[in-house]
Structure 1
Amino acid sequence: MIDPREEEIYQDHVMDHYEDPYHHGHCIDATHMHEDDNPLCGDVIHVELKIDENQKVKEAWFSGDGCCISQASASMLMEKIEGLSVDEVKAMSANQMLELFGARLTPNRQKCCLLSWRVVQQAVHSPLK
């Protein structure tokens, strides 16, 4: 069981990413892009990536609308994947995404958290040119 003080730290971390998201907006010179939604709640995440010739994620940006969980998890994920290789991004599991988020979530709320992960998994396979 998570210590209540630790849970509070996780919640503060989530709110920090929600209120001041990392790379929220559009990527200039994006090479890859994908968008998807969670039809159960209406959350939408749009991801734009700049992947270089060495197959490294140079920039990762997101935009969208939705709950605190979907938006904060997108921010956390953009920060995490910058600098990773495309293969490292592809290898990232749903469980690793939930661990990155940190706070405990119900199964329905896990879908909110995993939306950005699903979109990134598709974006690396969706070149613009």
Structure 2
Amino acid sequence: MNGLDSLYQELILDHSKHPHGQGLAPEEGRSASSHQHNPMCGDDITLRARVDDSGERLIQLTWEGSGCSISQASASMLAALVEEDGGDDGLTREEITRLIEGFREALRSRGKIPLDEEIYSDAAALSGVSKFSARVKCAMLAWVALEDALARA
């Protein structure tokens, strides 16, 4: 294992052991939840997204779940990314859609498209998952839940 792979593995383990955004916030304002299940390995994620009054900006993302370290780390990395990039105003639906689509494309590329660390921050560590098709669903679970929750909010 090279140094970068080792660093990425450590990031994944750290996020799975010390998850960011874990614990569902109460439903208030314009919020919606999405529950996603991966029958291949038993991962479960329930994600709650709260948007501003206009419905255009994500202002809070919380989640709870259980499963493999990849699914838990991915949910944590997504929550951290949304908080970092959104700042006080939150990310727009368009920005979130671009993030989800780019993440999905990279994970389906079988290693041909790496995630840009400048855009995806710690979630770039999940690039290597794309080489293992059985693990792609694990990494995508929270991202699909956010996509679904925003469609409902």
TM-score computed with the length of structure 2 as normaliser = 0.74
Partner of 2:58: 57
Aligned-residue CA RMSD (Å): 1.9
Structure whose residues are more often helix by fraction: 2
Instruction: Provide structure 2 residue ranges, at least 5 long, that are not aligned to the other structure.
Output: 108-113, 116-122
Q: Do structure 1's residue 126 and structure 2's residue 127 form an aligned pair?
A: no
Deviation at 1:123, TM superposition (A): 0.7
Distance 1:101 1:24 in 2: 20
Q: Deviations over 1:63-103 (max 9, x none)?
A: 01100000000100111123211221122211357722424
Residues 60 and 79 in structure 1, CA contact (< 8 A), matched pair in contact too:
no
Task: Give identity over the alignment, percent.
Answer: 28
Partner of 1:46: 46
Instruction: Provide structure 1 residue ranges, at least 5 long, that are not aligned to the other structure.
Output: none
Letter in 1 for 2:94: D
Distance 1:12 1:112 in 2: 17
Deviation at 1:58, TM superposition (A): 1.2
Q: Deviations over 1:40-74 (max 9, x none)?
A: 11111100111112421111111011000000001
Partner of 1:76: 77
Distance 1:120 1:66 in 2: 17
Residues 73 and 101 in structure 1, CA contact (< 8 A), matched pair in contact too:
no
Partner of 1:95: 105
Letter in 2 for 1:112: C
Give the length in aligned residue pairs.
Answer: 125
SS of match in other structure, 1:13 = helix
TM-score computed with the length of structure 1 as normaliser = 0.87
Segment drifting more, 51-60 vs 112-121: 51-60
